[in-house]
A and B are shown apart, each in its own frame.
Chain A
Amino acid sequence: MEETRTQFLASRLFFLTAAFWVLVAMTLGLIMAIQLAVPETYADIPQLLYSRLRPAHVNLVVFGLVLPGLVGAALYVVPTVCRTTLFAPWLAVASAVLWNGVNLGILGTLIHGMTQGREYAELIWELDVAVLVMYALLIVCVFGTIARRKEKLLYVSAWYIAGGLCWTAVVWVVGNVMWHPDTGSLSGISDAILNWFHGHNVLGLVITPAAVGVAYFIIPHATRTPIYSHTLSLLGFWMLLFVYTHTGTHHLLQAPVPQWLKVLSIVDSVALLIPVFAFLTNVWLPLRERIGRLHQDVGAKFVFVGTVWYFITCLQGPLHSLPVVQRLTHFTNWVVGHAHIAVLGFAGFISMGAVFYLLPRVSGRRLWSVRMAEAQYWLMSIGLIGFFLTLTSAGLIQGQAWLNGEVIYRILPQMSLYMVLRALLGIMMLTGGTLFTINVVMTIWRGQKVDS
């Protein structure tokens, strides 16, 4: 098994990266949640200031938990669907090492207030460059692997992974305005348009394709049934590319930006239902009699639940892209609820499921404890449903009150119950996260060898 060792070293490193940073990212979330519930818990410590932790939390859930899990999986999936070995595995290892350096950098800079202050593009220029290098190394590995594939037909997982990496690299350079190293921004309202083009696509063009690509591999693999239709995959892929990318302005519907851009973003947000359902039909329809097989593997179960959250997120998304709905929901906790079911429920669950499903294959060891993974599954599922209900209710209360002319200060007492609930649920989620860390580390360290 010497070959597995070097071949999948990068995957193992990426999985360990996810297992470590999930703790940091969730702890930051919990610290923030406590601060909103009890505002003076750690007063006057600038490094623990809510508003500095928030971007650190958001960047670290993306670069700490979601992406490393998905990239680690991709480095297994792409060679497998190409029936070949990974091209230049050491470059992927270098990317994983650099990745951890970047995460340290993210944490260190943001809590010290070194930020460019643009949502989802807060990182300073040096870190932007490092992220780009990370992506570039992966692009070389993935395209090198595809170039020497032994399977003629390229499977849909590989399209998404390869495409997602290229698109993100482009969006990253443009969205971070990397030709202006000091401010990282354009001037005036145009920057808000660009910022949300980026903010939307940094989620849409890397997290979504990577998670969809990995799910496209794991669900059919676990149930041993092919996807429903190649044509539907093509439709989903190209529609995602054309439609998702126009919708950034749905974050600015009430801001002074051109009307035609708003209309375009609303129309395309609703049109997004097509690629979403193309994907879901493709992986769900073949499940009809085989859902039991999915539940035999806890990893596959996580991935499947991830697709369910995708379904819910993408019903909610077009709904709150409509101006009549945004009158009520914009600026409120409703959006925070959406963000958690999207980034944790959809992408995070698929990422963690992929870690569980593929870890035995990349480490040659059985998962350390299936029971622990089951416990994590319930802790996180209940926690997340709780988050969604709590934040959505809080958002509706805020939205209603503001529409009726109540000032924000007067609603704060009504919010406090929900803020306390969110912090309690956060403890539950963090417990789940801790189980994840222990499980991954113990599998790699002490897991029972798979006899082959």
Chain B
Amino acid sequence: MIIHMNAKLIGIGTTLVILAIVVAVVFVPHATFEAAHRPSDDYRPLTTLEMQGRKLYLKNGCNNCHTQYIRAVDWGLGAERLAQAGDYFGQTPPMLGSIRTGPDLSQVGGEHTDDWHAAHFHNPRYPRPESIMPNFGFFSPAELRASIAYMQSLGFRAADARVRRQLAWREKAMAAYAAGIDQNIRWLHDLVPQGWRDVPNPYPATEVSLGRGATIYQRWCLGCHGPVGDGQGPAAAFLYPPPLNFTTLARHADSSGGLLYYQIMNGITGTAMPYLKRELESEKIWDVSNYLAQYFIGNNDANLEPKGIDAAYEPAAKEP
């Protein structure tokens, strides 16, 4: 069987096939996929400033490192809510992205305060010492404002609620900070329920545990709280209220392992201090608390009673 191919068959015949396929796999889904044509429940249109930020996102190709859709298999930032077709309503183009060199950003709105973003855009290694995101220090002040506004809009109404919560707490945090060092610490500590404040660090401050604590501190905290815990990390210049100087905690007898744990786990909403309960497992948070208490505060309650029955590998607990 010999079929003769000729110019007409190739030029016109196959091109018609392509057109038919365009209809089948582009036009038909466009016309019949109803969810694409109405906004999702969370959706709201972007403001002018946020639109400017979106243009900068496109211009600088952030979508070459960040995605904007949450999948069923995801954990971490935004994983509480699966992406829906209506989330991209009216976007030209939607920026779903195809690679996660950095985290998904579809729910980043309200996760961090504006000052955190300012430090992060200037140099991502300030708040996140091991980041590989490029610096955006070349943004003009107006571009920075627009980019931050766009970040805070990601997640639509859910993000708006988070941003409102951040702003409400931010006022209190700023007032407390303005009132002076000791008042600020008292305010911070009053955020922690009494039960937590009574708990000493249940992990003994062994060399190994402190070593782990040091590693975690260098990877997560150093850029803000500084190499010696005095709150003078490179990010500090961008942050208000600035990162806490841990050495001042020495004056406050109520600082306990449980208190540190609680603060690190939940962060200080309204300030740049992030919550780490999603990123660090329980033992790691205890380890870094141990490290802070031992080296910066100089007053560690690790392995004191009450702590329950010792685990097999632990030295016996100490009486207070």
Interface residue ranges, A against B (CB under 8 Å): 35-36, 39-40, 43-46, 49-52, 54-55, 113-119, 143, 146-147, 152-154, 156, 159, 162-163, 166-167, 170-171, 174, 180, 183-195, 197, 205, 230-231, 234, 237, 241-242, 245-246, 248-249, 251-252, 254-258, 261, 264, 327, 330-332, 335-336, 398, 402-403, 405-410, 412-413, 415-416, 419
Contacts and interface: CB of A to CB of B under 8 A. Distances in A.
Contact of B130 (A251, A252, A413): A413
B84 interface: yes
Contacts of A407: 75-77, 103, 278-279
B93 A254 contact: no
B7 A183 contact: no
A188 B36 CA distance: 7
Contact of A403 (B73, B94, B123): B73
Given A117-B58, A331-B99, A405-B75, 15 more contacts: A39-B125, A39-B134, A44-B135, A44-B138, A54-B64, A187-B90, A190-B29, A190-B36, A193-B30, A194-B26, A234-B5, A245-B25, A255-B69, A264-B25, A416-B132
Nearest to B73: A327
Interface residues of B, number: 78
25 contacts: A40-B125, A50-B65, A115-B58, A115-B59, A116-B93, A119-B98, A152-B4, A154-B7, A166-B14, A180-B92, A186-B93, A188-B91, A189-B35, A189-B85, A195-B93, A231-B1, A234-B5, A241-B18, A245-B18, A251-B98, A255-B69, A261-B25, A331-B98, A331-B99, A413-B219
A28 to B, nearest CB: 13
Given A36-B132, A49-B60, A186-B92, A256 B73 contact: no
Residue of A170, A255, A419 with most chain B CB atoms under a 10 A cut-off: A255
A185 B131 CA distance: 32
Contacts of A114: 59
Contacts, number: 235
B227 interface: no
A183 B92 contact: yes
Interface in B57-111: 58-65, 67, 69, 71-77, 82-85, 87-96, 98-103
A405 B74 CA distance: 8
A147 B65 CA distance: 48
Contact of A146 (B7, B15, B137): B7
B19 interface: yes
B320 interface: no
A408 B76 CA distance: 8
B208 interface: no
A254 B72 contact: yes
B90 A188 contact: yes
A54 B18 CA distance: 29
Contacts of A190: 26, 29-30, 33, 36
B120 to A, nearest CB: 12
A156 B3 CA distance: 12
A194 B29 CA distance: 10
Contacts of B138: 44-46
A426 B59 CA distance: 27
B253 interface: no
Contact of A230 (B2, B32, B59): B2
Given A190-B29, A407-B103, A410-B279, A242 B17 contact: yes
A50 to B, nearest CB: 5
A117 B219 CA distance: 33
